């Protein structure tokens, strides 16, 4: 199963499942990464981590470790 960590910069994907638990999972959901949400990976920080995402019309930063707990499908390349 692909996770958000594997999505490359400039690609978009749809969230299918959150595998984490507790505070982290809730936090990710609270920020709008719920099942069925479309996410765009915008860039990666200069040192290679964290990622910058566009979700629900705003910019969200998330570590790669945490992105690994977000399962995604439907990865496409788009020029936003």
> Considering only residues 25-64, where is the footprint of other proteins by CB under 8 A?
25-32, 34-37, 43-50, 52, 56-63
Judge contact between 13 and 72, C-beta under 8 A: yes
**Closer of 59 and 74 to other proteins (Cβ):** 59
CA distances from 27 to 6, 39, 51, 74, 76 (A): 21, 16, 16, 23, 26
To the nearest whole angstrom, how small is the minimum distance from the Cβ of residue 73 to other proteins?
Answer: 16
**Closer of 22 and 77 to other proteins (Cβ):** 22
Q: Is 75 exposed, middle or buried (0-12, 13-18, 19+ CB in 10 A)?
A: middle
To the nearest whole angstrom, how small is the minimum distance from the Cβ of residue 17 to other proteins?
Answer: 8
User: Which positions touch other proteins (CB under 8 A)?
Assistant: 18, 21-32, 34-37, 43-50, 52, 56-63, 66, 80
């Amino acid at each position: 199963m692909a996770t958000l960590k594997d999505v490359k910069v400039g690609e978009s994907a749809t969230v299918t499942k959150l595998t984490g638990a507790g505070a982290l999972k809730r936090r990710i959901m609270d920020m709008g990464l719920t099942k069925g949400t479309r996410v765009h990976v915008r860039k990666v920080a200069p040192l290679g981590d964290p990622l910058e995402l566009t979700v629900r019309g705003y910019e969200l930063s998330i570590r790669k470790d945490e992105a690994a707990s977000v399962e995604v499908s439907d990865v496409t390349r788009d020029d936003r």
